[in-house]
Chain A
Amino acid sequence: MSLTRREFGCGLCGLTALAYAGRLPGQSEPGAAFIAPGYRPATGSDERGIWRQMEREERDLKTSRFVIRDAELNRYVHDIVCRLGKDHCPDLRGYIVRTPYFNASMAPNGMMQVWTGLLLRCNDEAQLSAILGHEMGHYLRQHSIQRFRDVRDKASFSAFLGMGLAVAGAGGAAPLVDLAMVASIYAYSRDQEREADQIGLELMSKAGYSPMAAPEVWGQLIAESKAGTGSRSSDFLFATHPDPEERQGTLRETAAKLDSGTAERAHARYLERLGPIRQRMVGDELALRQYGRSELVFDRLLAQSPDDGLLWYAKGEVCRLRDGPEDAGRARAAYDKAIAAGGAPPETYRSVMMVEMKAGARERAQSAFDTYVKLRPDASDAEILRSLLAQ
């Protein structure tokens, strides 16, 4: 079996969903040192070799078509990282990767990947900071190097290579990997996960974010899993870690001790900054056709933002695409709310047209089509939609 450089290197990237596998967040180790700002491993060391490997990975990632290039959005995420990492800011580089699953990862050389599925699912900036802070905990305590040495010392280097192979998808171009296999390999590092949990809570608290966002994110993952739709990004966690609720409770308990009560959530700013890619993220989630899970996500986001036309459109699309017995009516109701709320894409009217056509309401279908082509005068599907109306 050949192993590509990317596949090997990604064995060194911690995965946040996996990182959240730890059961109980304890205190960070008293007196344990963080990596120093500006740190570089010694020439000739095993760590230096790993850094070189990750630098090559990063060069590939920089040119990947799956990386979101929006400058303002990248600056926004980087600012959050710097707000958490403070003196470490110059050493950290974030990449937003277009992958519709809940995940982030951080390599030992400071390369951080944030998947769009994570951005979609966070309610606000504080929730995102909980994930990023956790990842930075791994970085600051050099967990991946420790893990590499542990595995190597146990004469299981092949297992490490296997780990790299298993998470090859995390390299940016391959979103769907065998996460269950990854989970089984990563299960041994729960102590590190607990430590990263604790560091993440402390970092976000010191940065002025509400640490209560951390147990919230975990609770959202639990709810997605309980939707029972086979979400590969979360179900495997619960298969190998049986006490997610207990862990959520402990996270909440620890966060409550750190919570000042006045800490920032930054909900409106978060939505505004994600604006340029929100429709793409919604489309990527819908393309997975995991109706139950997606509806849960959109319903949760709508509870936070009941006047968000894009989210109502997304809910309508879930219903229309699922095409169950009650779905046409539910889709129509969601589209109505999307149109009333504003901010819905022109395609909302195309979807209304299709739902009305199937219901036999030709006049309403024609009206929706007219609005669609008015809003989207260059619509390349106008001719075929017109032909459908004429049938």
Chain B
Amino acid sequence: MTMDTTSMNLRLTLFLGIVLLAGCVTRFSLVPPERQTVGDVISVQPGMKWNKLNSHNYQGRVEVWTLDGPVLNTLLFFTGVPDGEPLFTQRTMGSGGQEKPPVFKASMNPVEIQELLEATIARYFQTTLAEGRNLKPVPIAEGKGFRFETRMVGRDEVERDGVFVGTIRNKKLYGAWFQGAKLYYYDRYLPEFDRMVASARLVGEAAAK
């Protein structure tokens, strides 16, 4: 090996190290308690500091926030799921040979969307212990919407509670799903989630008449 080659390898190693380090540093972005626009379509007012995940395993029209880390609690914003697309899938899943995920249809009613999220959770979290309940109509972003609670147990056997709120506008699904460990991490931040939902407005293309 020549000196030049050694030097080049060293520079390459350093460069890759910096790139990897940068990736680590930017995995989370701080979301200050100021009005935020999510995916150019949902405007909310957080009441505390959140963390936005810049890289995650969810694939779809989603933005992911957390307070204590995604294992403990996660907030998924659905930023306009169009007809024919799944709510989310796993980024790491290959496409070949995989079973097709269930998809959103603009003609779905809230009961069917609850069923869709249940099936999506079953697939994404690889569990048979996932259910939605207490589905209710609620006003959201100055329009009609719906809300239901979720309960699931994942591969780690941790029980997680959650709540989903959503609305269909212009044939797209907009919403948010907050879920966290039933023990402490869900209940503690549920009021914060509810305040954010109450502050939510649809903007951009979501607000178009």
Contacts and interface: CB of A to CB of B under 8 A. Distances in A.
Interface in A318-333: 321, 323
Given A321-B115, A381-B135, A287 B122 contact: yes
A65 B133 contact: no
Contacts of A384: 110-111, 135-137, 146
Nearest to A284: B128
A100 interface: yes
B119 A354 contact: no
A287 B118 contact: yes
Interface residues of A, number: 37
Interface string A219-251: 000000000011110010000000000000000
Given A100-B128, A381-B135, A384-B111, A288 B97 contact: no
Nearest to A230: B99
Contact of B109 (A174, A284, A354): A354
Range of interface residues on chain B?
Answer: 20 to 34
A290 B122 CA distance: 13
Contacts of A357: 109
Contacts of B126: 169, 174-176
Interface stretch (B7-15, B50-58, B100-108): B100-108
Given A99-B128, A229-B99, A287 B157 contact: no
A174 B119 CA distance: 16
A383 interface: yes
Interface string A105-116: 000000000001
Nearest to A232: B99
B2 interface: no
Contacts of A180: 97
Contacts of B157: 64-66, 173
B6 interface: no
Interface in A250-291: 284, 286-290
A274 B112 CA distance: 28
A98 interface: yes
B72 interface: no
B209 interface: no
A350 B126 CA distance: 27
A231 B102 CA distance: 15
Contacts of A323: 105, 107
Interface of B: 97-102, 105, 107, 109-112, 115, 118-119, 122-123, 126-130, 133-137, 146, 153-157, 159
15 contacts: A65-B157, A116-B128, A173-B156, A175-B126, A230-B99, A287-B122, A287-B128, A287-B130, A289-B101, A380-B136, A381-B135, A384-B110, A384-B111, A384-B136, A388-B110
